[in-house]
């Protein structure tokens, strides 16, 4: 969890598995990390989302200037 906290205020790309077991790739802007939950805005849907840390399979910061999905 400590590693994700350093991305607060930044855009990251994550690979995430949801409750149903579906794996998705998302680009998010991280707002807060607390109690195993990452609170963020999904940049594709422009909606707030909460992600369980244990369900994030991988993350990578998005280079500045590349915040929007192409």
pLDDT (tens digit per residue) in 3-54: 778 889 999 999 999 999 999 999 999 999 999 999 999 998 999 999 999 9
Count Cβ atoms below 10 Å from residue 14 Cβ, excluding itself: 22
pLDDT score, position 5? 82
Whole-prediction pTM: 0.82
- On whether the CB atoms of residues 26 and 16 are closer than 8 A, the answer is yes
How is the chain split among helix, strand and coil, in percent rounded to 5? 10, 55, 35
3-class DSSP assignment, residue 53: helix
pLDDT score, position 70? 42
């Amino acid at each position: 969890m400590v590693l994700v906290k350093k991305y607060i205020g930044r855009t990251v790309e994550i690979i995430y598995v949801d409750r149903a077991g579906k794996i998705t790739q998302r680009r998010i802007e991280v707002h807060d990390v607390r109690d195993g939950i990452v609170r963020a805005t999904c940049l594709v849907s422009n909606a707030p989302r909460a992600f369980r840390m244990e369900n994030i399979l991988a993350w990578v910061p998005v280079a500045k200037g590349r915040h929007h999905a192409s």
